[in-house]
Structure 1
C-alpha cells in the first residue's frame, strides 16, 4: 500500500450528519416555508466526508456523471467506497453510475449500503423506485417512492411517479 493510500485509510471518512434531525423535520413538513434551505443543508452535510481527498473523489465522480462518463464515475466512486466505506454519498454516487450503465444488481447492492448508513436518504429511495419501476416491479417501486416522498415531499418527479403507479395499480374507474 502506498504512503498516500495508507494515510487516507488512517482517516475514515463519514458524512457529517450529526444534528440533522431538525432539518429532516422541516423537510418532511409539506407546509414548511424553509424546506429548501433544510434540503440544501442536508445535502451539504451528506457531501462532506471529513476528508478533502474523499470529497475530491466525490466531486470527480459527480463530474463524470454530469458528463455522461459512467465508466469514469464508477472508477472514482469505487475508489471512494474502497477508502471511505462509511461515507454514504460514495455508495450513492456509484449506485447512480451503475444504474445509468444499466447494471441494476450492483446498483441495488450499493443502494442497500446507502440506506444502511443513512436510512433517511430520500435520493437513494427514489433511485431504488426508478430502478424497480424500470424492471417492472411496480408494487415495490411505489413503496420505495412513497418512502422517499415521506422524507422529502418536495420532489415533484417522485410525486408524479407515485400518482402514475398508484393510478396504474388501482386501474381506471368506469
Structure 2
C-alpha cells in the first residue's frame, strides 16, 4: 500500500465518526501485519498461537528468528514487545517498542505499549509523553486518555 493511502487512513483516525475511525484502525493493523507478506503473517500467527498456549519461550524464539530474518518488520518487533510485556519484562518490551517506532513512527500500538511499560516501571512522566504521542495519531482513543489521567494522578 502506498504512503498516500496510509496518510489517508491516518487522517481517518481523527474523524469524529466512530465507524470511519474503526475501519481505518483495522486497515492500518492489516497493513502492518501484512507488511512482509504471507511468510511474515504466518510466523506472527504461529507465535500468537504459542503465546496463547502459554509457550512463551517458543514464541520468543520464533519472533526473534523472524526479527533476525526481517529486521525492518515493525510488527514482528511489536509482537515480541507484547510478549515481553506479558512476561513482565518491561525494559525489554520498551526496547522493542522503541524499535517499532524507529521503523514505523505512527505505530500507535507501540506508542501505547511504551506508555504501559513506562507506567509499569513507575516512570509516569515518560508514560504520559508516550500516551500523548499515541493520542496525536489516534485522538479519540479513550484508553490512552484514561491512562494519561491515571499517570497524572500518580505524579501528584
Aligned-partner Cα distance in 1 for 2:55–2:146: 28
Distance 2:110 2:2 in 1: 16
Q: Which has the higher contact order (CA 8 A, sep 6+)?
A: 1
Matched positions, count? 154
* Contact residue 32 and residue 75 of structure 2 kept, 8 A: yes
Deviation of 1:93 (Å): 0.5
1:25-81 CA deviation, whole Å, 9 max, x = no partner? 11033x134110011110110010333222211111222233343222211211210
CA contact (8 A) 1:17 1:45 kept: no
Does the aligned pair in 2 maintain the 1:24–1:151 contact within 8 Å?
A: yes
Structure 1 residue runs of 5 or longer lacking an equivalent are 1-15
The normalised TM-score by structure 2 is 0.89
Counterpart for residue 17 of structure 2: 32
Shift in Å at residue 163 of structure 1? Answer: 1.6
CA distance in 2, matches of 1:123, 1:42: 11
Contact 2:91/2:117 (<8 A) preserved: no
Partners of 1:44 and 1:68 in 2: how far apart?
25
1:140 Cα deviation after fit: 0.5
Going by fraction, where is helix more abundant, 1 or 2? 2
| Unpaired runs of at least 5, structure 2 | none
Cα RMSD after superposing both structures:
1.8
User: Which residue of structure 2 lines up, in the alignment, with residue 135 of structure 1?
Assistant: 121
Q: What's the offset of the Cα at 1:17?
A: 6.1
Contact 2:124 2:152 in 1 (8 A): no
From the CA coordinates, give the structure whose radius of gyration is larger: 1
Supply the distance in 1 between the matched residues of 2:48 and 2:140 (Cα, whole angstroms).
23
The reply to whether residue 97 of structure 1 matches residue 91 of structure 2 is no
Distance change in 2, residues 1:137/1:50 (3 Å)? closer
CA distance in 1 between counterparts of 2:2 and 2:66 reads 18
